[in-house]
């Protein structure tokens, strides 16, 4: 039985809905639980611990697909501690929230709005939480197709030639960035380049990946 099947079984046994479980776990979107049940991605270490508390099961029940809760022995406490220690050493990864939709080449987004949608993509970063923007027109970002998502990680510095979310003249846009000693060069999809003083351009985030829902 995989982890998604275990969670689905526990929901049925407790007569708990996915919405109710998401509230108990402190999740803002119940679709995350749906992704777990469908085994699209697994809970991160924090949510595994929360699941163990909500369903009163050992942490190992949610981390080992071959673990049988009915086969416990006198060494369960030691085994559980070992599993918990391993889990604590895991890097934390979370599903990517969609921050906003973009329909123009230059746009604004609110950094304070809560994601209304989460992508079934698990990305691990050392510091910042990745976020996504949904492309809803063909003119919003020539590098992406309508309906695709751009997944970014906040960053103040990026490698030359990488696509990035930048702010210029008060607006955000996605461009390929090249850095010189005194200038920032922004390149369009058609390879047209424009030079700006470094103080005129703010690098917001680096593009990590394109994503399209199956």
- CATH 2.10.109.10 applies to domain 94-211: yes
Q: What is the mean pLDDT of residues 147-166?
A: 89
Q: What is the mean pLDDT of residues 53-72?
A: 64
| pLDDT beyond 70 at 32 | yes
How does residue 173 score in pLDDT terms, banded at 50, 70 and 90? very high
HEC profile of 147-201: CCEEEEEECCCCCCCEEEEEEECCEEEEEEEEECCCEEEEECCCCCEEEEEHHHE
How does residue 64 score in pLDDT terms, banded at 50, 70 and 90? low
Contact indicator for 24, 54 with CB cutoff of 8 Å? yes
* pLDDT tens readout for residues 95-129: 788 888 999 999 988 766 667 788 877 665 555 67
Q: What is the mean pLDDT of the chain?
A: 80
Residue range(s) in the chain whose domain bears CATH number 2.10.109.10: 94-211
Whole-model pTM? 0.59
Contact indicator for 153, 208 with CB cutoff of 8 Å? yes
* Range name among 66-75, 115-124, 147-156 with the lowest pLDDT average: 66-75
pLDDT, position 66: 43
Nearest-angstrom CA–CA distance, 196 and 194: 7
Nearest-angstrom CA–CA distance, 113 and 110: 6
pLDDT exceeding 70 applies to what percent of the chain?
A: 78
How does residue 77 score in pLDDT terms, banded at 50, 70 and 90? low
pLDDT, position 125: 56
| pLDDT beyond 50 at 30 | yes
State the residue for tokens 């070992």: 82
- CATH 3.30.1330.10 applies to domain 3-88: no
Residue range(s) in the chain whose domain bears CATH number 1.10.260.40: 3-88
pLDDT, position 81: 59
């Amino acid at each position: 039985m995989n982890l998604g099947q275990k969670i689905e079984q526990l929901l049925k046994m407790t007569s708990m809905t996915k919405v109710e479980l998401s509230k108990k776990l402190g999740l803002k979107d119940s679709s995350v639980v749906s992704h777990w049940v469908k085994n699209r991605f697994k809970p991160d270490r924090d949510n595994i611990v929360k699941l163990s508390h909500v369903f009163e099961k050992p942490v190992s029940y949610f981390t080992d697909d071959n673990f049988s809760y009915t086969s416990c022995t006198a060494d369960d406490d030691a085994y559980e501690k070992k599993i918990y220690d391993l889990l604590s050493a895991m890097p934390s990864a979370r599903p990517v929230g969609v921050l906003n939709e973009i329909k123009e080449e230059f746009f604004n987004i609110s950094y304070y709005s809560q994601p209304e949608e989460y992508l079934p993509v698990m990305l691990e970063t050392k510091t910042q939480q990745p976020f996504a923007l949904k492309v809803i027109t063909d003119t919003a970002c020539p590098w992406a197709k309508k309906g695709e998502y751009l997944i970014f990680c906040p960053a103040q510095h990026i490698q030359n030639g990488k696509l990035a979310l930048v702010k210029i003249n008060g607006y955000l846009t996605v461009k390929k960035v090249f850095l010189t000693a005194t200038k920032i060069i922004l390149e369009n999809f058609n390879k047209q380049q424009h030079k700006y003083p470094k103080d005129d351009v703010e690098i917001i985030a680096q593009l990590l990946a394109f994503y399209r829902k199956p």
